[in-house]
Structure 1
Amino acid sequence: MAKPNFSFQKRQREQAKAAKKQDKLARRAERANDPNAEPEIPDFDFNAPAAPAVDAPTEPGTEL
C-alpha cells in the first residue's frame, strides 16, 4: 500500500490558495476600475432606534 505524499498535498493546497488570492485581487481591480459600478451602501439604518441588547426583568427578583 502506498504512503500518502503529504508534501504534494501541501503544495496543492498552497497553489489553490494562491490561485484564489489572485482571482480575488483580479475581481477587486476590475470592480475598482468599473466606472458604472454602484458604490456599496451599508445594509443598516443609522436613524433606526437602537434595540436593547438584553431584556431586563420588569420586577426585582425575577429571573429570565
Structure 2
Amino acid sequence: MPRTPNYNFERNERDRAKAAKKAEKLAAKEAKKLSDQNEKTEPAPDQGGD
C-alpha cells in the first residue's frame, strides 16, 4: 500500500535544501572576493636584477 503524500513536509525539505545550497554558494563567493582583495592589496615582490 503506497504512503500518503505529505506535501508540506516535502516542500519544506526542498526549500531547506535550496536555502542551504544558496548560502553555501554565497559563502564561497564572499571567500573568493576576500581572497582576491587580499591578493590585490599585497605589494608585489621586487623583481630587481641586483
> What band does the TM-score fall into relative to the shorter chain?
0.5 to 0.7
Gaps of 5+ in 1: 37-64
Structure ranking higher in helix proportion: 2
Q: Which has the higher contact order (CA 8 A, sep 6+)?
A: 1
| Identity of matched residues, % | 39
Gaps of 5+ in 2: 40-50
RMSD across aligned C-alpha pairs, in angstroms?
1.6
Size of the aligned set, in residue pairs, is 37
Superposition TM-score, scaled by structure 2 size: 0.65
Superposition TM-score, scaled by structure 1 size: 0.52
- Describe how 1:7-46 pairs up with structure 2 within 5 A: 7-34=8-35, 35-36=38-39
Larger Rg: 1
Question: Is 1:5 equivalent to 2:10 in the alignment?
Answer: no
